[in-house]
Amino acid sequence: MKRVITYGTFDLLHYGHINLLKRAKSLGDYLIVGLSTDEFNDKEKNKECYFDYENRKSLLDAVRYVDLVIPEENWEQKISDIQKYNVDVFVIGDDWKGKFDYLKDFGVEVVYLPRTKEISTSKIKDDLNRR
């Protein structure tokens, strides 16, 4: 079984997120999503989420491409997650291009997928604030 992992906040889940998850799942048989916890978003990413972790997790659990959702609590856990879950492919949006190449040293393929250009959580929030 080929295992794929990706990470993100997935707040205000939208079709760009679904596109990423669908493409990530197409690279293997089992998709693991590391979902940023509220504490990690607040302290490390300086992001304020609309939905809390449990609600964001419930949304991801309902997406047919996602097989397992795990908490992402810090930047460094990617290596231990790759080892713990026997991951073959690490996937992330291409806005992170080159940032995770070091994971190749741990035996995984690193794939940077193009973002869905016309949509993002930031764009949704900006559009709502203009109304």
45 is known as an active-site residue: yes
Give the predicted TM-score (pTM) of the model: 0.91
Considering just the CA atoms, what is the radius of gyration of the chain in Å?
14
State the catalytic residue, choosing from 45, 84, 97, 104. 45
DSSP state of 131: -
Decide: 3 and 24 in contact? Cβ < 8 Å: no
pLDDT in tens, the chain (131 residues): 999 999 999 998 988 999 999 999 999 999 999 999 999 999 988 888 999 999 999 999 999 999 999 999 999 999 999 999 999 999 999 999 999 999 999 999 999 999 887 777 777 767 677 77
47: annotated active-site residue:
yes
Own/partner long-range contacts of 112-118 (Cβ < 8 Å, ≥24 apart)? 113/20, 113/23, 113/24, 115/16, 115/20, 116/15, 116/16, 116/19, 116/20
Contact 42, 66 (CB under 8 A): no
